[in-house]
Amino acid sequence: MKVAILGSGNIGADLMLKIAREPALELVMMAGVDPASEGLALARSRGHATTADGIDGIFAHDDRPELVFDATTARAHLGHAERLAEAGIRAIDMTPAAVGPMVIPAVNLAEHLDAPNINMVSCVAQATVPIVHALHRALGEVGYAEIVSTIASRSAGPGTRQNIDEFTHKTRGAIEKLGGARRGKAIVVLNPADPPPLMHNTVYALAEGDIDLDRVRAEVSTVADRVRSYVPGYRFRGPTLNGTKLTVYTEVEGAGDFLPPYAGNLDIMTAAAIAVATAIARRAQPAAATLAPRNGAVTS
């Protein structure tokens, strides 16, 4: 499937390197707005077509993509989404715009593969909502779930900082809608430590009724394996039980493609987006299903 990247910053550059390992995806263009950006320079050095005219450059290119990863801003994506939809080009939204349905591959990958616009929620949601989902599956009911995520300050760019409220609210919505908790809360902490720490997350959940801790462990382990299929550096500890409160700890180490390994919060977003695009490509082109998936990408 022919794809393009809109946004030549860190996220876009990391997406480019991950796409290169996926036989079901072909990058036809990297688009940005800064001709001197590192992402565009890297794309040119790897032989990819580039443009500094943003989405206009994508539409002007002879080799039209079937899907665009939008790694710009929420405000920009609102306009991009409309233009892409009119042109029949699918979008994977890496911003807080939330135009399309929320997708977390380990939770609901197969549900929205036909959607014209897919939203990747937030890095915090990608790392924690699968655990809440597993707890819900094991317990039947989760009255309240709270996540506390700590990321390296150095990995939080201006876009993340400007949209921190939107990311937090979206994550809370995902805890409830995809995780299954009746009420959710999300807290994000930017850690200025040097050297920068890995992404760490703590998931708290209040259980109702009887608790089968063995089943809880099994469900958490199963969903963690799903996440690891596209994010090998995803690890967890727990769950532990104190009264009716369950606690699970997760850690995310990035693959170190373009982003440094400590930026697991960014890596989990790009890896999840690639898993979604690969699944769409294989669904749209059955012949591609015979290709062996790389990086253990989730396919169903």
SS3 string, 223-247, reads HHHHHHCCCCCEEEEEEEEECCEEE
CA 23 to CA 288: how far, in whole Å?
Answer: 8
In the block, tokens 């707005």 appear at: 33
Asked whether 239 and 202 are in contact (CB, 8 A), the reply is no
Pairing of strands 67-70, 26-31: unpaired
- Phi, psi dihedral angles at 117 (to 5 degrees): -140, 125
Percent composition of the chain: helix, strand, coil (DSSP 3-state, to 5): 40, 25, 35
Structure tokens at 162: 């400007």
> What region does 232 belong to: left with phi over 0, alpha with psi -120 to 50, or beta?
alpha
Helix ranges restricted to H, the chain:
10-19, 38-45, 54-60, 74-86, 105-108, 123-139, 158-162, 164-177, 213-228, 264-284
Chain CA centroid to CA 181, Å = 20
Task: Show which residues are catalytic.
Answer: 123
CA 112 to CA 107: how far, in whole Å?
Answer: 11
Among residues 181, 186, 134, 193, the alpha carbon closest in space to that of 164 is found at: 186
CA 68 to CA 56: how far, in whole Å?
Answer: 13
How many C-beta atoms surround the C-beta of residue 193 within 10 A? 11
